Amino acid sequence: MSKGVITAMKPRTLRRHFRESFKNLRRNGWMTFAAVSAVTVTLLLTGVFLVIMLNLNKIATDIENDVEVRVHVNLEATQAEKEELRARIEALPEVESVKYSSKEQELQNIIDDMGSDFSLFEQSNPLYDVFIVKTLRPQDTPHTARKIEQFEQTETAVYGEEKVENLFSFMKTARNVGFVLIAGLLFTAMFLISNTIKITIFARRKEIEIMKLVGATNWFIRWPFLLEGLWIGLLGSMIPIGAVSIGYYYAEQAVSAKMSAHFIEFIGFIPLVVPVTALMLVIAVFIGTWGSFLSVRRFLNV
């Protein structure tokens, strides 16, 4: 066995494996086309789905990071009591930061957002002093708000309860569904490629048997098939990578301008396309070589 492995590492033997892999691809043209098509279709679906999921995840993360608890302070609280309340909030392990906004600042924010009509309330300001609380993890917001509501001098702790909890629930479900779909697509690709290559190997089973009988090691026989799977994966990845890259370039430019008014930002072209392209290449090479490995294994037991 060790001798076979050493022989397989010699440059001349390696060149032979490369020649055989290219020859087999040409010889089995329709099977090669079927395997490459399987990789292309699956990777295209996987790439598009990855782009959508990564952007949805970014948008959801941005929204989650904007979630905050607005703690309305009792109107009768003294300055010392406000400081005590702030200290108790900051002491909570879930809290990242606490920002104070006086009722005058709150009214000014409303005037800036809604117009000068609200300046009439400057004479008798009905608003509360507010502590704006950010948690270390957005998912801790509901639990933290309930804790703060129990503190003295807290009038209410508002965080958009129903909307926030629905958002967290939706994103958890979306991420789980996305993972299952991507895993399903990859499994389908591996199954299709494995079976396509298995058909080509079945047609050459006599060749494998003869090589085994004259003393060829399993790895000597296996290498050309693994290289075939590698080329099939690389060929099948070209169209999906090009389509996803070009499509996202134009989609990101067209959609970002419209969504920026709603404070929604997509991932930039380079930060998204580079890792997605690298991942698609890795996936293509993996499913091609692994599909070949699984296919040839059963025919080596002769």
pTM given for the model? 0.68
Last residue of a domain, one of 113, 137, 158: 158
Do 53 and 100 reside in the same domain of the chain?
A: no
pLDDT per position as a tens digit, 99-124: 999 988 887 877 777 666 556 555 66
Judge if 187 and 264 occupy the same domain: yes
Using the CB atoms, write b or e for 55-80: b if 16+ within 10 Å.
beebbbeebbeebbbbbbbbeebeee
**The domain boundary residue, chosen from 141, 158, 175:** 158
Number of domains forming the structure of the chain: 2
Which of 125, 158, 191 is the last residue before a domain boundary?
158
Output 203 or 72, whichever has higher pLDDT: 72
What share of the chain has pLDDT > 70, as a percent? 85
Q: What is the dihedral of CA 22, 26, 32, 33, to 10 degrees?
A: 130
Note down the domain range covering 146: 68-158
- Asked whether residue 178 falls in the same domain as residue 292, the answer is yes
132 and 184 within one domain: no
Same domain, 174 and 275: yes
pLDDT at 242: 93
Residue-wise pLDDT for 60-70, tens only, equals 778 777 888 99
Strands 69-73 and 95-101: unpaired
Residues 55 and 192 in one domain: yes
pLDDT in tens, 258-280: 765 556 778 888 999 999 999 88
**pLDDT for residue 172 is more than 50:** yes
Residues 241, 283 within the same domain? yes
Same domain, 27 and 115: no
Please tell me whether residues 50 and 184 are part of one structural domain: yes
